[in-house]
A and B are shown apart, each in its own frame.
Chain A
Amino acid sequence: MPKQLTKILTIVLIAYYIVISWLLKRHGFEHSSGLFYSEKLLLLFNAKQNTILTLGFTFPTTVFFSSLFFVPLGYLYAPVAASLVMTAFLFYMLVDEFKKESKFSWKLYVPILFCLFAFHPMFVFAAVTGRRNAVIALVAFLIFRSFFRYYKQPVTYHISMASLYIGAFIFSNFDFIWVVLAFFPFIFLISLDGLLIARTESPIFQYYEALNNRSQRRKLANRTAALYLVIFLLPLMAVLLFRSLNSQYAGSPTYFLDSQYANWRITGNQRIGSLVMSAGRDNVLYQTQVVIQGFILFLTPLYIAAVVLFRGKLYELFTILAMLLYYSFLLLSYKYTLTLSYYLLFIPIALVSICYYGTSKYSLKTSSWIFGISALLTIVMGFYFFKHSASDEEMEFSKEMSSVYNNWEGPRIYSESQQVAEYISNLVTDDNKILIDDAAAYPIVVHIGNLNGMILPHQKTFLTIVENPAKFVKYILIAKQTNPTQNLTVLNEFNLIKFRLKGLKALLMYESPNWAIYQLEKE
C-alpha cells in the first residue's frame, strides 16, 4: 500500500465533507444540534455569568469539548469542523487498523472504506451536521478495537484503554451507561476462559467444573469482579461525580439530561419522531425488540457479514454481539425506536470485527467477496434509512442532499433562524434590549453572533425580567404555536397571553413561521 495513501485519502475526505457542508449551508440546511453546541460556545466565551454551567454541564460532554478545539474557526463552524474531522479520523484509523491487523488486500479495503465514508449517508450526515454521531462512531470503534487487541495480546493496557473509551462513550450519550449490563456476558466468559480448567474437555464440562468447584468458583467470581471493575470503575465513578456536581451546582443530579439549556436532546427530541410512534410514515418497525434488532441487521449487512465471517472464541463472538444485547436493554427502557446515532455505530463495530476475524473462516477470496458485497449493501441500506427516516432534520438532509448537486449554483438560501437573527441584529442596541430564551432560540442567538443587547437565561436577572419584561427590555422573542420547541421555553405564545392579561402591551414587529418579535410598551 502506498505510504501516504491513507493520509491523502483522509484529507480528500475532509475536503469532500467541507464542500458538502458548504453546499448545504448555501441551501440553508443547518442541524439544530450543531447550532446548539455553537450557541454554548458563544456563551462560554462571551457570557460573564454562569460560565461553570455552560462549560461543566453542556452535554454530551465529549461533543462539546471536541468542538472547543475548533473555536478559532468560529462558533458557528466549530461543531461541524469537529464532527467532520472526527469522521475522517475514524476513516484513517480504520484503514490503519486494516493495514496492521487484516489479511485483506489494501486494494479491497481502502476503496470499500472510502466509499462507505464518502457515500454512506449516515457517515456524511454524521460528518457535516456537527451532531454527536461522529464521536459515538469513533468511540465505539475504539472500544471494540481495544477489546479485540486485548484478546490478541492480553495486557492490562488495552483493557484500561477500553475503560477510558467507555467513559467517553457514556459522555457522548448517556443511554450507553447500560453497556454495563450488556457487556457482562462476554466479560464473564473471558474470566471463565482464563481459568484454564479441563481444556481438553468439552466447553459444557469446563463450565460445569468452573461453576461447581468451590475453589474455581471463587476464582471465577474474583476474576470477573476484577475485570468488571477495571472496565467500568472509571466510567461509573465519572458518572457519579458528574451527577453529584450537577446536584451541587445546578440543583439536580440529572440537570445535564433534563435541562434544555444543557442538553440538545430535550429540544431535539421534539423534532425527532419515533419510527414506531410516527405510524404515518413508511417503516418496518413495530413493537417487538426482535423486529427492531432485525432492523439493525437489515440496515447494516456488514454486521451480518462480521458474524458470518467470524471464527474465534465464544467470548469474542459475544463481544461482537454485545451491542445487540445492549439495544435490548435500551429498548426495554425506552420502548420506542432509535435514531441514527444508535445505528451508525454498528458499521465501525462490524468493520473492526471483520478486520480482526474476517479472514480466518473462509478463503481470502470468499471473505473478500462477502466483505465487499455487504459493504455495498450497507451503503444502499443507508439510503433506505434516510428515505424512511422519522426525523424531520434527517428527512430534510436527505432531500437537500438529493438536490444540492443540481442546484449548487442557485441563489443562497437563508434559514429561518438566520433571517430572524438578521432582523434582531439590526434592531437591538445596548439601550434597546431584547429578551430571548435560548432554550428554544439557540439557533437565532448563535446566528446573531454576539450577546450585545440580549437578556438571556444565564443572566441572574433573567427571571426578574421575565416577570416584568416591559420595565427592562424593549423587545421580546416569542416562540409561536407552530414552533415544535415552544413547550420548552417560557417565552411562547401561551405565556404572552398571560403577560398581556397582566397588562403587558406588545406590538408585533416581525414574524416567521416559528418566531415572532414583539415591541413592548412601558406602562
Chain B
Amino acid sequence: MPISALDNMVSVGLFDENKLKEIEVIASEFNYSYIKTALNFGFLTRKKYVAFLEQEGFELIAVRDEEMDMQYIEQCELIELNSILYAPLRKMPDGTLLVAAADPQDEKLKTLLTIRFNMPVRFVAASDLDITWLVHIKRGEYYVKEAVFSLMRKDPEQSGLITFTDPQLIFIFGSIAILVILLFISFLKVAMVLNVVFSVAFFGTILFKLYLSLNGSKAEMKELVNKAEVKALQENTLPIYTILLPVYKEDKLIRKLIWNLRSLDYPRGKLDVKLLIEEDDDKTLNAVRNLDFPANFETIVVPFHMPKTKPKACNYGLHFCRGEYLAIYDAEDVPDSDQLKKCVVLFRKLPPEFVVLQGALNYFNKNENMLTRMFTLEYTYWFDYMLPGLMSLDIPIPLGGTSNHFKFDKLMELGGWDPFNVTEDADLGVRVFEKGFKVGIVNSTTLEEANNEPFNWIRQRSRWIKGYMQTTLVHMRNPARLIRRIGWRGFLGFNFFIAGTSITFLLYPILLLFLLTYAIVKLTFVASLFPDWVLYIATFNLVAGNTMMIYVNMLSVFKRRYYELILFGALNPLYWIMHSIAAYKGLWQLIYKPFYWEKTNHGLTKLSSSGTSANPLEPVQ
C-alpha cells in the first residue's frame, strides 16, 4: 500500500523503483524522510516533484507567510522537523491540526503526528526549502545561540569576543607611552633601535618563511597517500562524510556547485552535504529552488544572530551533521575527485592525534589577470611549501578556510569554530595544537576562484590579516600558558608565522619608504640620522627579504609546473604593497569593527573551472 509521495510516483511510473530502494537505505541511515532523501541526494528535481504534487491536487502554500501557533511547533525538535520536513502551523476551526509537509502523502508521519498532538492532522503541501527555512527560524534559536556562545562558555580564554584583554591594553598603551618618553629623551638612539628592530624582524620573518619553504619542499619526496591506496579502499567500509558549504548570496554558483559535488568520487549515500545559507539570503534559496536538475545537498537555514560570520554558520550546521568526518568547502571550490577518499586513507594511516587534514588550495583562473597570477603564486607557495614545512617542524598550522577535513567528534571536542574570529580557520588550527592534537597535510588540491578585482582582493585580504591579528591576540593572552601547551618551537613558530605575517605587512611600507628616501632619492637627512651600520642592516634586510620572497614564489610555480608564471614572481614587492594596504585596513577594522566580516564576492571570473585539473602534483621531470 503506497504510504508516501514517492510510492505514488513509482506507481504512476514517474519514479524508478530501484532508486526508491536506494533511497530507503540512505533514509534509514540518515534518519531522514524519503522525500528529503530524494530531493537532497540527487534522485529527484524539485520542479518534477512539485509538478507531481500539483497533479495529485496539492497546491504548494507559501508556508513562510502562514499564520502560526507556536505552541505546536515548540513540541517538536528541530532535528526531527528538519529531517522529516514538516511544520505544524495551527489548529483549524474544524479541530484538525494544520501541518505543512514536504510530502503531504506521508501516511506514516500523519499517524505519528496524530498520536503526538492527540488530534486529527491535515497536511498541506509546502516547498521543502520553505519548510526548512521556517523550522530553522522558529526553532533554531537554541542552536544558533550555541553556535555563537558555546566556545565562549566552555573556554572563554579561547574566544575572540573580547579583542583586547585588559593586560593586553595595558601592555600596548604602556609600550607606546614608554616609546614616546624614550623618543623625547633620545630621539636618535630610539629611532635607530626601532629601525634595526623593524628591519631585523622583517628579515627574520622572511628568512623563516624561506626555511619553511625549503623544509616544505622536502615533502614532495614522499607521497602521503598514493593512488593504489585510494583504489584499495572498499566502498562499503567508507564512513559518512559531511561537507559543509557556507554560502551567502552565491546564487550564481549553485549550478557549478552541484557539478563539482558530482565529480567527487565518494558513494552518494555516504555524502552528507549541507549548504548553509543565511536567513535573509533568499537569492541563494531561490537559486536552489529553481534548479532544473536534482540537487545533491541539503539546505540548512541559519537564523539571524550577530556576528554574521561564516564560523557561526558552520557551528550551526554542526548540529545537523551525520558524518564521521567533516570537510569544509566554498561554493566555487573544485576539489580533486579523490580528495575525500585520500583523507579517509590518511586519517586511518596517521596516528590518532591527527584530527584535521588540510588540502592544498590553488586557482583555476590563474591566468586571468595580473592579480590572479600573483594570487596563484602566493597560494602555491603557501599550501605546497609553507604548510608542509610547518607540519614537518611540528608548528601550529593555520588552516586555510576551505578543504579542511576534520574528525567530527574531535571537532566537537574542540568546540567548533570561534564565531568572533574572522579567520576562524587559522584560529582553529592553533587551538588544535593547544589541545594536544595535530594538523596533517593531504596531498590533494582544491581549485578555487582567484580574486580578480583589486578592491575585492583588498577586502578579502584585510579580513584575513585582521583575523591573523585577532588570532595572535587571543592566543597570546597568556604567553606562558601557550608555551606550556605547544612548546617553545610551536610558540616561536606561531609568532613568526601568524603574528609575523601581519607585522611584516605593516612594516613593509615603512621600510620601503626608508630605503627609497635613503638609497634611491638619497636624502642626506636620513643618512645623517643613522650610522652606517644601521643603514647597512636596513638595506640588506629589505633587499634580501624581498629577494627571498620572490624566490619562494618562484619555487612554488616550479613544483606546479606553472612555468609561465615564474617571471611574475618578480612583482612580489608590488603585490606586498597591496598586502600592506590591506593590513592597515585590517588593523583599523580590528580596533573599530573587530567582528565585521568583509564579504568576498565570488563568481567574478569569466573563466570556467571545467576541464581544469588541480594536478600536476607529481614531481617535475
Interface residues of A (CB under 8 A from B): 51-52, 56, 153-157, 159-161, 163, 193-194, 219, 222-223, 225-227, 229-230, 233-234, 237-238, 241, 244-245, 248-249
Contact = CB atoms under 8 A, between A and B. Distances in A.
A249 B533 CA distance: 9
Nearest to B559: A156
B388 to A, nearest CB: 11
Given A219-B563, A222-B563, A160 B555 contact: yes
Contacts of A161: 214
A153 B221 contact: yes
A51 B217 CA distance: 37
B574 interface: no
6 contacts: A155-B220, A159-B558, A160-B214, A229-B566, A244-B519, A245-B536
Contacts of A163: 551
B217 A155 contact: yes
A378 B287 CA distance: 79
Given A225-B567, A249-B536, A194 B547 contact: no
Given A56-B536, A229-B566, A245-B539, A194 B554 contact: no
Given A52-B532, A154-B620, A249-B536, A230 B555 contact: yes
Interface in B508-564: 519, 532-533, 535-536, 539-540, 543-544, 547-548, 550-551, 554-555, 557-559, 563-564
A244 B540 CA distance: 10
B590 to A, nearest CB: 35
Given A52-B533, A161-B214, A248 B555 contact: no
B479 interface: no
B214 A157 contact: yes
B619 interface: yes
Contacts of A245: 536, 539-540
Given A155-B217, A155-B559, A241-B540, 19 more contacts: A52-B536, A155-B221, A156-B558, A157-B214, A157-B217, A157-B218, A159-B558, A160-B217, A219-B563, A222-B564, A226-B558, A227-B558, A229-B554, A229-B569, A230-B554, A230-B555, A234-B547, A234-B548, A245-B536
A154 B618 CA distance: 9
Given A226-B558, A241-B540, A241-B543, A156 B567 contact: no
A226 B539 contact: no
Given A161-B214, A219-B563, A249 B532 contact: yes
B566 A222 contact: yes
B517 to A, nearest CB: 14
Per DSSP, chain B at the interface is helix
B547 A156 contact: no
B220 A194 contact: no
A225 B221 contact: no
Contacts of A193: 621
Contacts of A194: 620-621
B566 A225 contact: yes
Contacts of A241: 540, 543-544, 547
A248 B564 contact: no
A227 to B, nearest CB: 8
A51 B555 contact: no
A66 to B, nearest CB: 19
Contacts of A219: 563
Contacts of A153: 221, 619
A226 B563 contact: yes
Interface of B: 213-214, 217-218, 220-221, 519, 532-533, 535-536, 539-540, 543-544, 547-548, 550-551, 554-555, 557-559, 563-564, 566-567, 569, 619-621
Nearest to B557: A226
Given A225-B567, A234-B551, A241-B547, A156 B539 contact: no
A56 B534 CA distance: 12
Contact of A248 (B217, B519, B548, B621): B519
Task: List the 3 closest A-B pairs by CB distance, nearest first.
Answer: A222-B563, A154-B621, A155-B220
Contacts of A222: 563-564, 566
Contacts of A156: 217, 220, 555, 558-559, 620
Nearest to B385: A156
A60 to B, nearest CB: 18
Contacts of A230: 551, 554-555, 558, 566
Of listed A154, A193, A248, residue having the most chain B CB within 10 A: A248
B191 to A, nearest CB: 19
A45 to B, nearest CB: 15
Contacts of B619: 153-155
A58 to B, nearest CB: 14
Per DSSP, chain A at the interface is helix
A51 to B, nearest CB: 7
Contacts of B220: 155-157
A233 B533 CA distance: 26
Contacts of B540: 241, 245
Contacts of B532: 52, 249
Contacts of B555: 156, 160, 230
A157 B620 CA distance: 11
B91 to A, nearest CB: 71
A230 B544 CA distance: 16
A145 to B, nearest CB: 15
A229 to B, nearest CB: 6
Contacts of B620: 154-156, 194
A393 B81 CA distance: 94
Contacts of A237: 543, 547, 550-551
Nearest to A234: B551
Nearest to A196: B621
A469 B488 CA distance: 57
A227 B561 CA distance: 10
Nearest to B214: A160
A365 B550 CA distance: 49
A187 B547 CA distance: 22
A219 B563 CA distance: 8
A241 B220 CA distance: 31
A233 B564 CA distance: 16
A225 B564 CA distance: 9
B376 to A, nearest CB: 14
Contacts of A154: 619-621
Nearest to A233: B551
Of listed B221, B569, B621, residue having the most chain A CB within 10 A: B621
Of listed B557, B559, B620, residue having the most chain A CB within 10 A: B620
A61 B494 CA distance: 32
Contacts of B547: 233-234, 237-238, 241
A230 B559 CA distance: 11
Contact of A233 (B213, B544, B554): B554
Nearest to A219: B563
B173 to A, nearest CB: 36
B566 A226 contact: yes
Contact of A225 (B217, B539, B548, B563): B563
A157 B533 contact: no
A238 B551 CA distance: 12
Contacts of B564: 222
A395 B217 CA distance: 47
Contacts of B550: 233, 237
B211 to A, nearest CB: 11
B214 to A, nearest CB: 6
A52 B564 CA distance: 41
Nearest to B564: A222
Contacts of B557: 226
Of listed B218, B547, B555, residue having the most chain A CB within 10 A: B555
Nearest to A157: B217
A224 to B, nearest CB: 9
B337 to A, nearest CB: 24
A159 B221 CA distance: 13
Given A154-B619, A154-B621, A241-B544, A248 B221 contact: no
Contacts of B218: 155, 157
A331 B542 CA distance: 36
A233 to B, nearest CB: 6
